[in-house]
Structures are given as structure tokens and as C-alpha cells.
Amino acid sequence: MALIELKNITVAYDQKHNILENFNLSVEEGEFVSLLGPSGCGKTTTLRLIAGFNEAKDGQFLFKGQDYTKVPVHKRAFGFVFQSHALFPHLSVYDNVAFGLKLRKTDAKQIRTKVMDILEAVNLKGFENRYPSQLSGGQRQRVAIARSLVIQPDLLLFDEPLSSLDANLRVQMRMEIRRIQQELKVTTVYVSHDQEECFSISDKVAIMNKGVIEQLDTPPLIYKKPKTEFVARFVGFENILPMTGSGEGAAPLKAKDGTPFVVEGAAGMKGTVKCAIRPDDIRIAKDGEERGADNSTAGRIQVTTYLGRGYQYVVETAIGEFLVNSHGEAPFGHGETVRLDFPPDKLVPVD
């Protein structure tokens, strides 16, 4: 049984507009699940609903099989790490971390041991008498994490915890978060709009769009086999190639000019089939070089831009415009005719 389960949840922010509608999500115990998507997709709303800050208009939230839909925030024992850190400015690091324990009437000796242990776990030993205003951004974030971990929460919730930190610190902190999470084996739901961040630390990622989870899978699976056009575009498949399938066994798909395309996993598909491919996976070569008849088309270079590790081209062809990356030294010039090759295993059919 899943640890948390959202069943047909609807959340509205006014009478007419729903942010989430019939939303479903389940998270297994010990899992690290990220909610990823553009702003306004409902990821933060989902997280705040789990925390209890938002109320569902409809639907049910189950925790360990119990109905938690109406349980108030302070009775949930879920740790929440805010984007703003939300440290209490009038309390020292020690008292910030001890806040939840004191509310639980833990005895002073035990509080001291627990606070010191958790401060050690987040590498903040020796900072217990500082005030939040005397800490750097990364240190504040670690205090915030320690504060929500020390109460031994049933669930840890992160709301874009790293977005207020600079790039180097972000990479360091996300490893820290993953390390702590794995060490303590606490079930975690993590919200971010940063793809790399989510992919690097999660067991599973839910890609959200307009209040719906488009795909919930392990990061490598999402990265290699996006299921929908939205997910494909979100993870960098910038080219979508519309084709038609005959529905017969192993017959190749056909592009709009009739060029046959062999696509792995597309056997038997009928009607319009959209295939996504990354700019890095399309092979570009001088026109006239010998190529097979399948998965290939001729085109003309429209725009060349320099990326550092290589060049990026916009190539116009009979079957549409493509973004292509190449690592070659000598770039093709504007207006030059080229040949594009689409490897069958790199084309991914999407909804």
C-alpha cells in the first residue's frame, strides 16, 4: 500500500478556476518523488495540499490508509522546507531546530541530544548560537532542513528549496539533501521547476502540466522515453515529427512527403503518430554522401549558432524544420544543402 495517496483531488483558487482537477498521485514509503513542471502547473498546490496549507474542494488524501483530508497542519507531523527558508528570525539556530521538539514536550536533555545530532548531520555543528541573519543562504537552508527533520517527520516536503541559492551551492545542496534523505530513509516529495535538480536526486519524477501529471517514471525513463509531446519538449526533445502509420505489422511510418521512417516501438501504430527526437540525436552530413532511403531527408541550413561544444543549426526540409546539434569542427554555412539522418532507436513515439 502506498504511504500517501491523493484520490480525485480538486483544488480551486476561486469559484471558477480549478488548479487541480481529479488529481491522483501515490507515493511509496521511503521514495523520493519530485513534482516538476512550468510555473502554474499545480506542483506547489499539490505539495501544499499534502502539507495541509491548502484545502481540497473535492477528493481524498490518504496517509497510511487513513483519511487525512481534514487533519489540520499542526497534527500532520510532516516536515516542510520553504523556498524562503522561513527560519524564525528571533530564535538562534539551536532554538529554531528545537522548536518542534519543544512543542512536543520532549525533555530538555533529549532535545539537546537530538538537536546536536541533527546539526551534525547537516554539517552545522558550532553554529547553534548564531541567529539566522548571521548565516549564509546555504547554511539557512540546512537549518531549515534540520528543523523539519528533527521532529522525525512521517513525510518530508520541499518547496523549491534551492531556488534562492546560487548555482554552485545548488549543486552542493541537492547532493546534501539526497544524502540526508537516503541516510534517514524519509519519504520525500520535492517540488522544483529545475529539471536537472529533480532528475539528479529523485527516485521518481512526475512531470506536471496544467494540473495533470503527464508522466510519472524514473528519471532515466523520462529522459529516454517521454510519453507525451509536452514531456518530450520539457526534457529537451525539441523536434516533433508528425507521421502516419498504416497499422500493419512492421511497416515503417511515413512522413508527409512519403519518406519511410523506421521507428523503434512504433510497430502496428495507426493514424497520426508524433515522433520526438533530440537535436543531438539527428545526424547531419553533407548532401550527396551515401545514405539509406529510410529515416533520411535532405534540407537547407537556415541559421547557424555556436554553442561552445559544437554548433546548432536550424534546418529546413520537405518534412518540416529541425533543430540539429553537431560536434563537427567546420560548420555548414547558411543556405548549404545537407542530409539529415534519424536513427530508429532515437525517434520516440509520443502522444
Partner 1 sequence: MKKPAYLLLFPGALFLAVFMVVPIATIILSTFANDGSVSLAGYTSFFTDSYTLGILGTTLKISLISTLICILLGYPTAYYISRTSVSRRGIYLALAIFPLLTSAIVRSFSWMVTLGKTGLINTLLLQLHVIDKPLQILYTETSIIIGMVHLFLPLMIISLIGVMENIDGDLMQAAASLGASRFKAFVKVVLPLSIPGLLVGSTLVLVGSLTAYATPQLLGGKKRVLATLLFQNTMTLNDWKAASIIATIMIAITFLLIGVMNALAKKLNPNG
H or E stretch covering 173: helix 167-184
CA pair distance 282, 295, nearest whole angstrom: 10
Contact with partner 1 (CB under 8 A): which of 80, 230, 311, 332?
80
Number of residues this chain uses to bind partner 1 (CB under 8 A): 30
Angle, CA 241 vertex, CA 239 and CA 244 arms, to 5°: 165
Taking the C-alpha atoms of residue 339 and residue 327, their distance in angstroms, rounded to an integer, is 16
How far is 260 from 250, CA to CA, in rounded Å? 12
Considering only 10-18, 77-85, 109-117, 227-235, which stretch makes contact with partner 1 by CB under 8 A? 77-85
Among 12, 26, 53, 60, binds partner 1 (CB under 8 A): 53
Helices and strands in the chain, H and E counts:
8, 20
Of 13, 73, 113, 247, the residue at the interface with partner 1 (CB under 8 A) is 73
- Give min distance, CB of 287 to partner 1, in A: 59
Q: Kindly tell me which of 50 and 241 has the beta carbon lying closer to partner 1.
A: 50
CB atoms within 10 A of CB 288: 10
Q: For residue 13, state whether it binds partner 1 (rule: CB under 8 A).
A: no
Q: How far is the CB of 86 from partner 1 (least distance, A)?
A: 4
| 63 touches partner 1 (CB under 8 A) | no
Q: Which is nearer to partner 1, 39 or 133 (CB)?
A: 133
CB of 97 to partner 1, least distance (A): 10
Task: Sort strands 32-36 and 18-27 into parallel, antiparallel or unpaired.
Answer: unpaired
DSSP 187-249: -EEEEES-HHHHHHH-SEEEEEETTEEEEEE-HHHHHH--SSHHHHHHTT--EEEEEEEE-ST
Q: Does 323 bind partner 1 (CB under 8 A)?
A: no
Name the 3-class secondary structure at 87. Answer: coil
CB nearer to partner 1: give 15 or 133. Answer: 133
- What is the full DSSP assignment across 126-155? T-TT--GGGS-HHHHHHHHHHHHHTT--SE
Interface with partner 1, residue 74, by CB under 8 A: yes
Residue 315 in contact with residue 321, Cβ under 8 Å? yes
Nearer to partner 1, 154 or 238 (CB): 154
Q: Which is nearer to partner 1, 72 or 271 (CB)?
A: 72
Phi/psi at 263 (5° precision): -125, 125
CB of 77 to partner 1, least distance (A): 7
CB closer to partner 1, 72 vs 220: 72
Distance CA 43, CA 332 (A): 42
Binding to partner 1 (CB under 8 A) within 132-151 occurs at 133-134, 147-148, 151
Nearer to partner 1, 99 or 223 (CB): 99
**Which amino acid type is present at position 340?**
L
Nearest to 158 by CA among 185, 189, 201: 189
**Binding to partner 1 (CB under 8 A): which residues in 104-133?**
104, 131, 133
Length of the chain counted residue by residue? 351
Instruction: Out of 13, 22, 103, 270, point to the residue binding partner 1 (CB under 8 A).
Output: 103
Site string for partner 1, 83-102 (x = CB under 8 A): -x-xxxxx-x------xx--
Query: For the window 25-44, what string marks contact with partner 1 as x by the rule CB under 8 A?
Result: --------------------
Q: Which residues bind partner 1 (CB under 8 A)?
A: 51-53, 72-80, 82, 84, 86-90, 92, 99-100, 103-104, 131, 133-134, 147-148, 151
